[in-house]
Amino acid sequence: MRSALVHSIDAPFTIDPYELVVTLSVGIALYPLDGKNERELMFNADAAMYHTKHTGRNGYHFFQPSMNMLAQTQLQLMNDLWLALERQWSDLKSE
Q: Whole-model pTM?
A: 0.66
- DSSP assignment of 61-93, as one string? EE--THHHHHHHHHHHHHHHHHHHHHHHHHHHH
Mean pLDDT of all residues belonging to the chain: 87
Report phi then psi at 31, rounded to 5. -85, 140
pLDDT digits (tens, 9 = 90+) for 43-89: 999 999 989 998 988 899 999 999 988 777 877 888 889 998 888 87
pLDDT digits (tens, 9 = 90+) for 26-49: 999 999 999 999 999 999 999 999
pLDDT number for residue 93:
64
- Average pLDDT rounded to a whole number, residues 10-23: 90
Give the pLDDT band (50/70/90) at residue 5.
confident
| Amino acid (1-letter code) at residue 13 | F
- Cα distance between residue 73 and residue 30, in whole Å: 23
